[in-house]
A and B are shown apart, each in its own frame.
Chain A
């Protein structure tokens, strides 16, 4: 017979024997439940993304072009021997990348030439050098120091390995990749540009070249525009035979690659460039002033002047009979006022290019910037009468002024002497700069954000 005293002891023994197993079971259940919860928390948002943004069908096209372009851009950066690779924003997940791929593919549905990149790079590089040269002269940087900056950039630009990579048949880089290349190029010298200055420089370069491509009389004249840029670059480095040799080598490669192309192939190159620049309507002060750009950002297309070489002046109709003899001539008139061209530009290593597109439009000194420190009062009052203040320019200048305020001057060490370029020295000048819609002012402001440290 079980007594009351004995039962509790047996119960106690059974409980104490099962306790570790029981605790183990409970622990296992808790851990399992936690794991399930964690998995659920992570997978639900991912599942939602899959549901909301399904991947699109691909119509049998090859790998997404932008991956190849990013690779090419990285390849170029390596050839430039840059310390930093072009920064790429990594996709957060496969769907976001798929979305981005779809967005970028939109632009490549038309025929594109695979020989466009050298022309794009060399012409934009040429424009960049024109702007930098003008700023160095306007700010009265000592000749030797200015030449060093220009030489360094030109040496990097015409680097042999870089040129080899450039001339390989390939599609154009994306705008971002190309911008990165120029970022690296601009920093190949001792010059430093902050983000805002680089943006301004790039805008000026691209709009200038867009203008040149648009107004090219014949598709083949794009080559003449490129030759104009190279002629000017050769002039910048005329005292350095080593770099001159590099540039001449590139010149010869251009002649070899492009001389044999037909007009149709040049037109395809031109169309590829125009697609690259499509929908860019940044207003450039120098173009607005010269009346080659409208206030809506579109370029003025003249309907007068010489016709392209190989084209007849419009107006004549000739009728032939079945024997091939001319039997009738009639004329018609239009609003255009065209004349016959004088001569064709030269496509040789040296020669008169005839075409003015691609020459240095900044080489004519502008009274706005050169006389700014002397007669700013007079110019300011005249400027107020003649020029409509542009609120956008005012914002740009305010932004640049704020950047100036945040800049530190790095003290040069040892025997090096550095100096700082400063635009806004007086209240009067600041007021003048805010009123005037001047390219020179924009660029001067850009340059004050530069930290140019040059050696003795």
Chain B
């Protein structure tokens, strides 16, 4: 779901293209077919990574590394591709927009790719690349942006926190023993949720030390979803008091709440 100030759209990505529906799923307002000729023959073609940004844009990543920026009018189906961002060389894995308050001059959109490179952008009529965080040898599967902090989950089970303004690493957590599939952030409290293939779901608390301006992260809670590789995890409320979890081969959604 992409929540824009004027409307809510349901955006779906698939092997063939991108579909956008009205919030009740009744009408398809836009269909964008992916250009197969852009890709080498053996490479998979797909779209992955969706975020609403800048109040009127929806950004969607593709397997070629391009990020498509769609300009969404308040009403109607006159959606156009306003820009194509070409900084990544590997398939896009995730895109995140600022969920809290970005510091002045800091970017409000982050894109991640298969190689582990992160790009920080400032949104607007024209999107500007502010900084590029180089990869360290591992795929970045999931990314979130909050109050000028990028939280990135990697294929080797690490969560890393970067400062948006400088692009520097501020925290490194050996969080999981397997590939991190899902990250979610509760914007009102700064709680971070991580779910991985090792069957664990962890809840963390992000904060900033007002004196040193250091980014801090502490572990709040661990939950083991027995015999399940967690594929999706989301907070159910903006404070982060409850969350839902899905897994491979699982036909149920498990909901956890604070006692």
Contact = CB atoms under 8 A, between A and B. Distances in A.
18 contacts: A114-B42, A214-B229, A264-B114, A267-B155, A278-B248, A278-B249, A301-B199, A310-B156, A311-B156, A311-B178, A314-B177, A316-B174, A317-B217, A319-B215, A319-B217, A322-B168, A327-B214, A335-B222
Contact of B115 (A109, A264, A332, A335): A264
B48 A111 contact: yes
B14 A321 contact: no
B131 to A, nearest CB: 14
Interface in B171-194: 171-179
B158 A312 contact: yes
Given A314-B174, A324-B169, A319 B91 contact: no
Contact of B138 (A62, A263, A330): A263
Closest 3 CB pairs of A and B: A264-B114, A111-B46, A332-B219
A318 B171 contact: yes
Contact of B44 (A61, A109, A113, A278): A113
A303 B224 contact: yes
B93 interface: yes
Q: Is the interface of A mostly helix, strand, loop or mixed?
A: loop
Given A214-B229, A303-B198, A330-B218, A112 B171 contact: no
Contacts of B23: none
B32 to A, nearest CB: 10
B228 A301 contact: yes
Given A265-B114, A319-B215, A336 B28 contact: no
B46 A318 contact: no
B93 A264 contact: yes
A61 B173 CA distance: 43
B94 to A, nearest CB: 11
Contact of B212 (A294, A307, A321): A321
Interface in B11-55: 14-17, 19, 28, 31, 33, 41-44, 46, 48
A219 B155 contact: yes
B22 to A, nearest CB: 16
Interface string A106-132: 001111111100000000000000000
A268 B44 contact: yes
Contacts of A327: 212, 214
A290 to B, nearest CB: 15
Interface residues of B, number: 63
A364 B217 CA distance: 49
Contacts of A110: 14-15, 46
A314 B199 contact: no
Interface string A205-223: 0000000001001010000
Interface string A267-282: 1100000100011010
B45 to A, nearest CB: 8
A320 B169 contact: yes
A255 interface: no
Nearest to B250: A298
Interface in B240-259: 248-249
**Size band of the interface chain A makes with B:** 35 or more
B44 A112 contact: yes
A308 interface: yes
Contacts, number: 158
Interface in A288-330: 294, 298-301, 303, 307-308, 310-322, 324, 327-328, 330
B200 interface: yes
Q: Is the interface of B mostly helix, strand, loop or mixed?
A: loop
Given A262-B90, A264-B93, A312-B157, A319 B249 contact: no
Nearest to A268: B44
A69 B162 CA distance: 45
A267 B15 contact: no
Interface string B109-152: 00001110000000000000000000001110100000000000
Contact of B157 (A115, A265, A307): A307
Given A322-B213, A327-B214, A338-B177, A317 B199 contact: no
Given A263-B139, A312-B156, A314-B157, A109 B200 contact: no
A180 B199 CA distance: 35
A169 interface: yes
A109 B156 contact: no
Contact of A109 (B15, B155, B178): B15
A59 interface: yes
B196 to A, nearest CB: 9
Contacts of B48: 111
A334 interface: yes
B170 interface: yes
Contacts of B166: 322
A62 B35 CA distance: 12
Nearest to A272: B44
A324 B168 contact: yes
Interface string A60-104: 111000000000000000000000000000000000000000000
B64 interface: no
Contacts of A311: 156-157, 177-178
A60 B19 CA distance: 11
A59 B33 CA distance: 9
Nearest to B159: A317
A393 B14 CA distance: 41
A279 B224 CA distance: 22
Given A299-B227, A303-B198, A324-B169, 11 more contacts: A62-B16, A111-B48, A169-B42, A219-B179, A262-B115, A264-B93, A264-B114, A301-B228, A311-B177, A316-B174, A327-B212
Contacts of B170: 319-322
